């Protein structure tokens, strides 16, 4: 199927690390993405990883890709209250459409 799956909710304490997990389906996807959506806003691209990489680090964000298991994760170090949002993972269809297939989103709540 076309499902990209994520858990719906994650709650962490401020200053801890958050890990948001995602499984995808298409082994031919060349790019995988993490988007962030703050309340009342559109989606903002946080980071992406090319499929020939295992890891990508960008300041407090670390993306890990396990192609064998089709598993993607986003780690946020030193999580802050401003990180509270919905996080979507997505994979791309490399046909003529360049469609992104999104997961249902993980709501991250950061407790003070």
Residue ranges in contact with another protein by CB under 8 A: 8, 31, 33, 35, 40-45, 48, 50, 88, 92, 96-100, 102-105
Nearer to another protein among residue 83 and residue 88 (C-beta): 88
Rank residues 52 and 112 by Cβ distance to another protein and give the closer one: 52
Nearest residue to 105 (alpha-carbon basis) of 1, 3, 9: 9
Q: Give the separation between CA 101 and CA 91, rounded to whole angstroms.
A: 5
Provide the minimum distance between the beta carbon of 63 and another protein in the complex, in angstroms, as a whole number. 13
CA 1 – CA 26 distance, rounded (Å): 9
Cβ 104 to another protein shortest distance, Å: 4
CB of 4 to another protein, least distance (A): 8
Pick the closer one to another protein by CB: 40 or 112: 40
For residue 107, which of 37, 42, 59 has the smallest C-alpha distance? 37
Within 8 A by CB and 6+ apart from 67, the residues are 27, 51
């Amino acid at each position: 199927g076309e499902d990209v799956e994520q858990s719906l909710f994650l709650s962490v304490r401020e200053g801890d690390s958050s890990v948001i997990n995602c499984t995808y389906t298409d082994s031919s996807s060349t790019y995988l993405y993490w988007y962030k959506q703050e309340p009342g806003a559109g989606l903002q691209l946080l980071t992406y990883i090319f499929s020939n990489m295992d890891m990508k680090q960008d300041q407090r964000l670390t993306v890990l890709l396990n192609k064998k298991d089709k598993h993607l994760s986003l780690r946020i170090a030193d999580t802050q209250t401003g990180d509270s949002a919905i996080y979507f993972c997505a994979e791309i269809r490399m046909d003529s459409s360049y469609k992104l297939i999104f997961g249902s989103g993980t709501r991250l709540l950061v407790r003070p």
